[in-house]
Amino acid sequence: MSGIRDLGPSSEWRRMMGSIDHDDLIQILEIVGHSDIDEFRLELGELKLFLKKSSAAHADRASGMPVPERTETASLTERAEPSEERTTSSGASGEVLPETRGEPESREPAKVTGYTAIKAPLLGTFYRAPKPGAPPFVTEGQSVIEDDTLCIIEVMKLFNTIKAGIKGTIKEICAEDGQLVEFDQTLFWVEEDPKQELREAQA
């Protein structure tokens, strides 16, 4: 696909990694700064970079976020299951009412029964199109199949193609073009094809 290069562990990949400039270093600092990573180490030839966040700034966070493996075609999917709705009987009228649990409402309005979350398999910059000015890979309401490309995530000149992994309809796009996204962040909500769900249940 025009505008996308898959840079595997080749001589071209090593050559580009060895040509990191000032802008690349700034991008690394921004990515690490916006993530839950506490320590980051990079050694490329004579370049040695070690970043460590202050422990006080992360005292209330978890011990660290797992580092995902590099991927070009994988995506993380998480199906939103219907929440259990308990009922209680009102003593005054006998009317059955939902029980209030006191939990805050979800800030993700598209999280509805039957929708599946397509999540970022790694941290990087989210792009909806293969290059500036090109049409986006997908739009809301568009039908997709497993091998359809939804977006790319770029990290240090490495472009990772994110596939749908399921058959269904794009219901919501949760990230903006050019936005820095974190590992496991929801990028898309997809309404899965009922026929596929039936096949999975029969498998």
Distance CA 186, CA 143 (A): 18
The pLDDT value recorded for residue 31 is 81
Pick out the chain residues at pLDDT < 70.
1-20, 22, 44-47, 53-113, 196-203
pTM here?
A: 0.50
Domain range list for the chain: 11-60+68-83+108-202
The answer to whether the beta carbons of residues 174 and 152 sit under 8 Å apart is no
The pLDDT value recorded for residue 49 is 73
Beta strand extents in the chain (DSSP E only): 39-44, 47-52, 76-79, 87-89, 96-98, 115-119, 124-127, 143-144, 149-155, 158-163, 168-173, 180-181, 186-192
The pLDDT value recorded for residue 90 is 42
CATH T-level fold of 11-60+68-83+108-202: OB fold (Dihydrolipoamide Acetyltransferase, E2P) (2.40.50)
Query: Over the stretch 127-154, which tens digit does the pLDDT of each residue have?
Result: 999 999 999 999 999 999 999 999 999 9
Query: Over the stretch 84-101, which tens digit does the pLDDT of each residue have?
Result: 444 444 444 444 444 444
Q: Of 162, 152, 165, which Cα lies nearest the Cα of 192? A: 165
What secondary structure letter does DSSP report for 197?
H
